[in-house]
Amino acid sequence: MEDYKLWFDIAKAGGILFVEPQELLMFRRSDTQVTVTKKEEMSLGSIRLRKEILLYLLSVYNNKTLNSLLSDFENLEKNKWMSNEDIFRFFVNLFNRIQRDTMV
């Protein structure tokens, strides 16, 4: 999760990120690493980061309709009708679409 937070902060500051499709390193996993021992905390941190990203994007776009939409989605999540992951995916797709449409 810390990597995602760093990448988000870099992007907010105007940095440009690239994805390298090939594997550049390998790492080992063990039962004692943080991603295993603190799994629940990592999950909650991930949810907080997704919410931070959405709120930032909503502030950049400054659109009342999008803010209202997030509120509606939060009610769906609260009632367990939609997961936080689904909400985040929806907004990522929506912002990608908005960005594509404004570039044309």
Q: DSSP letters along 13-40, please? A: TT-------S--------TTSHHHHTHH
Question: In the predicted model, what is the mean pLDDT of residues 73-77?
Answer: 81
Q: What's the confidence (pLDDT) of residue 101?
A: 77
User: Does some domain include residue 47?
Assistant: yes
Residue 66 domain boundaries: 2-12+29-103
Q: Smallest Cα–Cα separation from 54: which of 11, 91, 7?
A: 91
Q: What's the confidence (pLDDT) of residue 104?
A: 58
User: Does some domain include residue 70?
Assistant: yes
User: Does some domain include residue 19?
Assistant: no
Question: In the predicted model, what is the mean pLDDT of residues 46-63?
Answer: 80
User: Does some domain include residue 85?
Assistant: yes
Q: What's the confidence (pLDDT) of residue 38?
A: 79
Reading the block at residue 93, the tokens are 């797709």
Q: What's the confidence (pLDDT) of residue 5?
A: 87
List pLDDT tens digits, range 13-29.
988 888 788 888 887 78
User: Does some domain include residue 23?
Assistant: no
Q: Which residues contact 74 (CB under 8 A, 6 or more apart)?
A: 87
Whole-angstrom distance, CA of residue 79 vs CA of residue 96: 27
Q: How many domains does the chain have?
A: 1
User: Does some domain include residue 93?
Assistant: yes
